[in-house]
Every structure is written in structure tokens, then in C-alpha cells.
């Protein structure tokens, strides 16, 4: 009996030593707060047995990966804002991926034509509107924000913030530089206060009666209405309605959170598998629940708070075309003295 037990124990030990602790491994460098993506990465690890190592890089992601060079352990570079994704490609830090799963799930406007970066979730640039002005804002377009009827009623953060330069660059791509300059001058004339603060300050100022309409990202409303940002911000959210503005003859402007496979990824195949998981219905639903972001995949579940905003028609101007106008957008903001 003792000999058999010892033999069995030896066999189990040999099996444990021979088998890896994880089926595979993948390293994610991210500028996104770990808490925001942890539910997704935990779900993937549990589903596949893959070990996901996460490195949070608050600033200087591109610089860090470039400095690590060929020895970089990074497999996936994950960040917010398509400008940051394009910057990674421009600096030669990504590599081409061929995946019918990614191409099939992500609209062409929200991925790199060369297969070097992919949008994984969307945040839209919406209007927070005082409840008493909701009827007047029905059918609002971004162009309408320059209408004199909103004089002294508009709040917005700095025009030079990436959320706004993205919107302005999209307008240049659609309407041209001259029309966009005139629009910026009109919006400036309608401001209730100097551009400042963050998006949630727009809701705060509406609650205080400072303005009637503010431009902000959609997911902030989810954070405020859910109570995750505290009872005070929940009151700000209670003071507003959300309107989904569109460009004239277009849709609602969206930015993305996304990722690229690193140029020197030691685990490229595993990196692609993780990206493919992130556009599955399961993962897109986790994005929606955890971060109040819109799924990039059509038909994936939307959080009820966002669904209550109404039917969303996304503008189809390719992000790569918008990106070409971001420097011009920043120059226009200074040219009209928007933030002064």
C-alpha cells in the first residue's frame, strides 16, 4: 500500500512539474486605469487559462516601449483616444495584424486600414442639456451650437483638450477649415463661461444654472447616474437630459479606446487572441457594464443608462481622416482665441 501511494504521489508530482501553470501568457501595457480593464482581462484569463500580465503606464507609453526596443516584453499596447493609437503606429511601435474576426467585428472607420490598431469600445461626444431646455435641443446638430439662440448658454472644457480637438478635427474633415473656423467663432460667442474644467463640470454648471447645454463624453453620465462617482455627482446627472447630436447629414462623433500589437511582441499569437476576445459579445458587454462605453461591435449589448439616451447613429468619417486635421484643429482654436 505504501509503495503504491508513493508511486502515485511521484506520478502526480511529475505531472505537475511537466505541466505549465498557465496555458499561455500575454503582456498588456496600458494607459487605461487597471480597474477599468481588470474585469475584461480577468474574464479572459478565466475563460482561456491564459496568464494576463498588466503594466499600467500613466504617461509616456510610446517612449517606454521605444526605449525597451527589441527586448520589450509588451505584447499589446492599449490606450484611450485614436490619436494615441495612430501615434504608436507613426513611431513604428506596432505591427500589422491579419484577423477576419477583428475586421468583421469592428467598423472600418474605427480601425487602421493597415491593420496596425483597432478600436475596442466607443465614447461619444454628446450634449448635456438642462431639462427645461430639452425640447429646444431636440434634433440638435453640432453645427447648431453656433446658433445665436444658445448665446450665453453653452459650457465646454478647453478647446485644446483631445476630446474637443477630435470633434473639431472631425468637423474640418467634413465641412472644411473655413466653415469650422466660423463655427468655432459662433460657439465662442455662445459661451456662458470661459472653457475650463472637465466634462462633468458641464453637468455641475447646468445644475447650478450657469448654462443650458454642455458638451461632454457619454460615459461620464453613466458614472454619475450609477452613483459610482458619489451622491453629489448623481445630483448633477439628475439635472440634465442627454441629447445625441449629429453632424449635419452625418452622425454622432465617437472616439475610441483601442489597442495595437507591439512591434516586438514575444507572444503575438496570444495578443491577437486577446484582441479577438475583446470584440466578442461577452467582452463588449463587460465594457458596457464596467465603463459605460458603447460597444464597437454592432448588436453587442449596451448598458441601460446609455440605451436610455436613444438610438445612436455613429458618424462614419474614418478616424484616420480625422487625425490628419488635429493639428489644424489645435491651430484654429488658438486662431479664434477660443480658450481666452
Residue positions in the annotated binding site for Fe cation? 219-220
49 neighbors 304 (Cβ within 8 angstroms): no
**Residue 7 φ/ψ, nearest 5 degrees:** -65, -40
Distance CA 214, CA 202 (A): 5
Rounded Cα distance between 251 and 272, Å, is 30
| 200 Cβ neighbours under 8 A, 6+ residues apart | 216, 220, 224, 229, 233, 236
Q: Is the dihedral of CA 31, 32, 38, 44 positive or negative?
A: negative
Identify the CA nearest to 95 among candidates 109, 81, 75. 75
Residues in the chain, total: 340
CA dihedral 44, 46, 48, 51 (to 10 degrees): 80
CA–CA distance, 319 with 316 (Å, rounded to integer): 9
- Cell readout for 274 is 486577446
Annotated binding site: 219-220
Closest CA relative to residue 72, chosen from 266, 272, 269: 266
CA distance 56 to 254: 25
Contact partners, residue 339, CB within 8 Å, separation at least 6 = 158, 159, 160, 194, 195, 333
Quote the CA–CA distance of 60 and 63 in Å, as a whole number.
5
Dmax (CA) for the chain in angstroms is 93
Amino acid at each position: 500500500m505504501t509503495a503504491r501511494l508513493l508511486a502515485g504521489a511521484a506520478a502526480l508530482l511529475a505531472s505537475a512539474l511537466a505541466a505549465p501553470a498557465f496555458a499561455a501568457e500575454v503582456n498588456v501595457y496600458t494607459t487605461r486605469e487597471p480597474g477599468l480593464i481588470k474585469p475584461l482581462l480577468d474574464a479572459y484569463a478565466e475563460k482561456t487559462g491564459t496568464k494576463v500580465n498588466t503594466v499600467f503606464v500613466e504617461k509616456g507609453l510610446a517612449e517606454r516601449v521605444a526605449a525597451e526596443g527589441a527586448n520589450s516584453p509588451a505584447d499589446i499596447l492599449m490606450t484611450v483616444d485614436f490619436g494615441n493609437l495612430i501615434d504608436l503606429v507613426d513611431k513604428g511601435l506596432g505591427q500589422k495584424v491579419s484577423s477576419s474576426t477583428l475586421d468583421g467585428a469592428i467598423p472600418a472607420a474605427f480601425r487602421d486600414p493597415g491593420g496596425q490598431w483597432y478600436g475596442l469600445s466607443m465614447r461619444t461626444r454628446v450634449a448635456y442639456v438642462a431639462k427645461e431646455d430639452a425640447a429646444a435641443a431636440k434634433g440638435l446638430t453640432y453645427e447648431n451650437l453656433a446658433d445665436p439662440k444658445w448665446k450665453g448658454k453653452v459650457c465646454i472644457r478647453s478647446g485644446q483638450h483631445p476630446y474637443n480637438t477630435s470633434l473639431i478635427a472631425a468637423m474640418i474633415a467634413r465641412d472644411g477649415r473655413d466653415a469650422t473656423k466660423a463655427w468655432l467663432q459662433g460657439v465662442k460667442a455662445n459661451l456662458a463661461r470661459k472653457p475650463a474644467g472637465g466634462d462633468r463640470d458641464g453637468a455641475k454648471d447646468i445644475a447650478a444654472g450657469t448654462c443650458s447645454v454642455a458638451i461632454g463624453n457619454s460615459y461620464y453620465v453613466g458614472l454619475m447616474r450609477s452613483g459610482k462617482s458619489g451622491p453629489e455627482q448623481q445630483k448633477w446627472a439628475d439635472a440634465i437630459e442627454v441629447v445625441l447630436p449629429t453632424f449635419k447629414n452625418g452622425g454622432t462623433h465617437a472616439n475610441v479606446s483601442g489597442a495595437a500589437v507591439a512591434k516586438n511582441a514575444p507572444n503575438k499569437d496570444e495578443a491577437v487572441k486577446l484582441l479577438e476576445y475583446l470584440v466578442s459579445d461577452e467582452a463588449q458587454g463587460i465594457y458596457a457594464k464596467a465603463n459605460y462605453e458603447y460597444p464597437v461591435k454592432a448588436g453587442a449589448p449596451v448598458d441601460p443608462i446609455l440605451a436610455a439616451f436613444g438610438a445612436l447613429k455613429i458618424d462614419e468619417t474614418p478616424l484616420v481622416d480625422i487625425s490628419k486635421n488635429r493639428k489644424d484643429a489645435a491651430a484654429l482654436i488658438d486662431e479664434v482665441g477660443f480658450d481666452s
